[in-house]
Every structure is written in structure tokens, then in C-alpha cells.
Amino acid sequence: MRIVVLVSGTGSNLQAVIDAVSSGTLDVDIAAVGADRPGTYGVQRASEAGVGTFVVDFKAYPDRSEWNAALTAAVSAYRPDYVVSSGFMRIVGQSFLDAFPNRYLNTHPALLPSFPGAHGVRDALAYGVKITGCTVMIADAGVDTGPILAQAAVPVLPEDTEEALHERIKIEERRLLIETLRQLADGDA
Ligand code: GRF
């Protein structure tokens, strides 16, 4: 199973996937890692692991639809079975989704449908929920609205900050993402 992973930031979830592949616990081929801006640590991690990288810089395109077309072409060139958004902080357009129908996976640091959007951890903390968690789903045209494949719960502690809670959620998020990829690779999802 070939995957392309898209990142915008530090790529610690990507690193967990890279580590699982190199230790032999996950049998997938990471065909490439792509980013929406130059200079991400996620792309650096991929380069250090010998994985091919590409950048489709959002700011280098006159509008969202041209960026979306360029992203679709860049990802398609690697002929992935699945595309994984791993902290990729851009909404992709319909033509991208059409190129990878039911094959664009996303992870989210909250128990959807609660707390969608870019601040799922902050919003859960502000609301005062006692349990939050993470979700792996198939991305669709909405914001964190696609079919849910897997979820894990994480308790909120009284002294939690957004950063501390997010780090504990990401431990579960990595486990869940790797497990989901394993199931997809085995045809068990
Ligand atoms: C993850 O919690 C992801 O769900 C969210 O951003 C985080 C990415 O972290 N959208 P990293 O870049 O993998 O460290």
C-alpha cells in the first residue's frame, strides 16, 4: 500500500508512521511527504528518513483553486493508494477529493463530531469536557465531517493546559493512525 503524507507543521505523527515502517510494524510504502509551505519540520523529518518530499506552497498561487490543482497533480504523480493528512492545516478542494475518492484520511485531536476545526483541543478544554480524544476519518468536503474510522478517548486532567492535553492526545492519535493504516493495508478496515 502506497501512501503520501501531507503535513503543515512539526510532523510528530508522521515520524511515528516513519518509525513504524522502519521497525517493520507497519507494512506500507511512504511514497512521499508533501507540505503546503516551505521549511516545515515534517518535511525535514521525511528527508532525514530518506523519503521523497515536495512543497506546494499555498502562498505561491494566485488563488485556492490553482493551488488545489497543483496539489492534486503533485500528489497524483506518486500514485498513492491513500493520502494521509497528518497535521495538514488546509482544506482541499473537490477536485482533490475526486482524485482520491474515499482515500484521503485525516486525523483530528478531538472526539468528532464535537470540536471540529483548527482548535479542537483548545475548544474542548474551554467547554470543560472531562473526556476528549482523537479521531481518524475519511476526509470529505466539510471541516472534519467525513466518515469516522476510529476514535480513542483521552481524559482531561484538572491542571491541563492546551499543550499538555494535546501532547497526550497525540500519543493516542499516533497509535490510532498506525493501527488504521495497518487495517487498511491488511484489507480489514
Ligand atoms: C495533530 O494533533 C493533528 O490532528 C492536528 O495537528 C497535530 C499535528 O501534529 N491537526 P504533528 O505535526 O504531527 O506533530
Cite the active site residues. 108
Atom of ligand 1 nearest to the CA of 170: 2
Taking only the tens place, the pLDDT of each residue in 67-84 is 999 999 999 999 999 999
Confidence of residue 187 (pLDDT cuts 50, 70, 90): confident
* pLDDT for residue 110: 98
Atom of ligand 1 nearest to the CA of 8: 12
Between 45 and 141, where is the model more confident? 45
Tell me the percentage of the chain whose pLDDT exceeds 70: 100
Cell numbers placing 4: 503520501
Atom of ligand 1 nearest to the CA of 121: 2
Taking only the tens place, the pLDDT of each residue in 115-132 is 999 999 999 999 999 999
DSSP state string for 26-88: S--EEEEEEESSTT-HHHHHHHHTT--EEE--GGGSSSHHHHHHHHHHHHHTT--SEEEESS-
- Residue 56 and residue 70 in contact, taking contact as beta carbons nearer than 8 Å: yes
Closest CA to 179 of 4, 13, 61: 13
Mean local confidence (pLDDT), 52-69: 97
Burial zone of 69 (CB within 10 Å; 0-12 exposed, 13-18 middle, 19+ buried): middle
Q: Indicate whether residue 132 lines ligand 1 (CB < 6 A).
A: no
Q: Whose CA is nearest to atom 4 of ligand 1?
A: 108
Report the mean per-residue pLDDT for the chain. 96
Residue to probe by mutation, ligand 1, list 6, 12, 85, 111, most atoms within 8 Å of CB: 12
Between 187 and 111, where is the model more confident? 111
| 70 C-beta neighbours (distance < 10 Å), count | 15
For residue 135, the one-letter residue type is T
* pLDDT for residue 189: 72
* pLDDT for residue 112: 98
- 184 strand-pairing partners: none
Confidence of residue 16 (pLDDT cuts 50, 70, 90): very high
Mean local confidence (pLDDT), 90-114: 96
Mean local confidence (pLDDT), 83-101: 95
- pTM, 2 dp: 0.95
Placement of cell 518535511 in the chain:
43
Tell me the percentage of the chain whose pLDDT exceeds 90: 96
Mean local confidence (pLDDT), 161-181: 97
CA of 122 to the centre of ligand 1 (A): 13
